[in-house]
Chain A
């Protein structure tokens, strides 16, 4: 157990440092959410229903950044290892593949912390947003639960996108729809009823709900529990899909092929 934890911690820390050194990841994780938060802020401030507020926009845009990091970071993760020529080492080391990949996907979600931090800081510095959350401790718990569950969703993405030739195009395809259907900047009640089940099985829906209820009031426990439950489901799916990929690649000898 301690070995698995040590492996996770070391892998997570290394990948966090690695991604932090990437100008592409950091600039996209910090600047793009600020753009979306700015637009949402002006839209709500100018509209006839401005009640949702700046904090609503900041948290929603921050979660958008986390999803983008997971989508592009985890979605192309195995392909990236393949391009770098490190996939063989990732697979042939003694620990199981999932133990090596999981810290990487959770790290891509953790990079999204920069998004939340940048949008909250932007709100505070530019618009004087008060950061006095109603349940600060629950906010931290909700944030950790969101990051971990999105990281586990990244595990599923990493092991399924690898079967596609162009993982990046799938990432482009899924960015806006998930922002929309998980209600990061809108009320889900506005969307058609058939979208509701889709939003329920996606961690960002519950993550943003937990963060908002911890920040502005409400009960954040159910969303946090949902994040944990979905995370366990993603872990199970990811375990099987990653295993399928590994067996298939080993059998067909296509591990290093692009």
Chain B
């Protein structure tokens, strides 16, 4: 019962604390306006290069932008506590780590879903992209799974933040990698073979492909395999993140480096 309370109440409290600084004046430019302009930028580069249609860039970038809330908000679960000098107080507590950190991931996932879905819709309206009406529920499922798998990567990023101090830079770098490797803007088949191999073990790659298939009119049953893979990748990153948190927490205790900025 304590773990359930920690999962929900702790997660919600932590996220409300995040919104203390992530106020509407920061939220709207960063998570509402910026993804729309990312879509527009790459749609216009695509037009300039004569590569793909606008729907390709709307699906790719709207889903890929889930990475921003996932990576930055999750890394804040560690670096924010460290900045406030409360990290050691949390890690010295007997609270189970799974509900402690995964509870914090739940609102992050919900926010990533909203950011992705909103930019998807806005991108479609601005660029005049029309989707088959029947694809919309399936797209919502795809975006939800993409938000989940990217939150798994975010948890891994949070764990690494126990060792890497410049976590904003790290989050930016991971975001950049995802922009290239997930096929958000370049068809994966056009990337070199080694990059294609990497793309298959990253979150978002399969979700983006599933969204494009649905937008092209394919039935939901045809993309379940892609979604299962995406879900599996998300679970793997989530598990990896929890293990890394344990390892780095232990190292931090051993070397007394938890609060070191």
- Asked whether B23 is an interface residue with its Cβ less than 8 Å from the other chain, the reply is yes
Interface of A is mostly: helix
Binary contact track B184-195/A, C-beta < 8 Å → 1, others 0: 011100110000
Q: Which residue of B lies closest to A23 (CB)?
A: B166
Q: Which residues of B contact A36 (CB under 8 A)?
A: 176
Chain A min CB distance to B53 (Å):
12
Asked whether A166 lies within 8 Å of B26 as measured between CB atoms, the reply is yes
User: Using Cβ atoms and an 8 Å threshold, which residues of chain A touch B244?
Assistant: none
> Is the beta-carbon distance between A172 and B50 smaller than 8 angstroms?
no
A43 CA to B185 CA, complexed, in Å:
7
The residues of A that contact B172 with a CB separation of less than 8 Å are: 27-28, 31-32
Q: Is the CB of A165 within 8 A of B25?
A: yes
| Residues of the B chain whose Cβ atoms lie less than 8 Å from the Cβ of A180 | 37, 40-41, 44
Q: How far is the CB of B141 from chain A (nearest CB, A)?
A: 28
Q: Does B4 interact with chain A (Cβ within 8 Å)?
A: no
Q: Give the Cβ gap from B79 to chain A, nearest Cβ, in Å.
A: 13
Q: Is A47 among interface residues, defined by CB-CB distance under 8 A? A: yes
Closest CB in chain B relative to A195 CB, distance in Å: 11
Contact with A along B157-173 (1 / 0, CB 8 A): 00000000010110011
Given contacts A177-B37, A185-B45, contact A172 B30 (CB under 8 A): yes
Cα distance A44–B52 in the bound complex, in angstroms? 11
> Within the complex, what minimum Cβ distance (angstroms) separates A111 from chain B?
14
Q: Which residue of B lies closest to A177 (CB)?
A: B37
Q: Is B46 an interface residue (CB 8 A)?
A: yes
Interface bits A179-211 vs B (CB < 8 Å: 1, else 0): 110000111001100000000000000000000
CB distance from A140 to the nearest CB of B (A): 28
Bound complex: CA of A238 vs CA of B111, how far in Å? 38
CB proximity of B161 to chain A, nearest CB, Å:
14
- Contact residue among B33, B37, B169, B179 (Cβ-Cβ distance under 8 Å from A27): B169
- Asked if B48 contacts A185 (CB within 8 A), the reply is yes
B94 within 8 A of A: no
Partner of A28, one of B29, B38, B49, B169: B169
Q: What residues of chain A lie closer than 8 Å to B44, measured between beta carbons?
A: 180, 186, 190-191
- Chain B 221-249, CB-CB to A under 8 Å as 1, else 0, gives 00000000000000000000000000000
Tell me the smallest distance from the CB of B84 to a CB of chain A, in Å: 16
Residues of B within 8 A of A166 (CB): 23, 25-26
A-B contact count (CB 8 A): 105
Within 8 A of A (CB), among B20-45: 23, 25-26, 28-30, 33-34, 37-38, 40-42, 44-45
Set B34, B49, B50, B168: member contacting A24, Cβ < 8 A: B168
Query: In the complex, which residues of chain B have a beta carbon less than 8 angstroms from the beta carbon of A20?
Result: none
CB atoms of B177 and A35 under 8 A apart:
yes
Q: Name which of A48-56, A81-89, A239-247 contacts chain B.
A: A48-56
Contact A39 B49 (CB under 8 A): no
Q: Mask for B174-208, Cβ within 8 A of A = 1, else 0?
A: 00110110000111001100000000000000000
A50, A170, A172 pick with most chain B CB within 10 angstroms = A172
14 further contact pairs, Cβ within 8 A, besides A43-B46, A49-B48, A169-B29 = A40-B45, A42-B180, A46-B51, A46-B187, A47-B46, A168-B26, A169-B26, A172-B29, A176-B34, A180-B37, A185-B41, A185-B45, A186-B44, A187-B48
| 24 examples of A-B residue contacts, CB within 8 angstroms | A31-B173, A35-B179, A36-B176, A39-B42, A39-B180, A39-B185, A39-B186, A42-B186, A43-B42, A44-B48, A47-B49, A47-B50, A49-B49, A169-B25, A170-B29, A172-B26, A172-B30, A173-B30, A173-B34, A176-B40, A176-B41, A185-B41, A185-B45, A186-B41
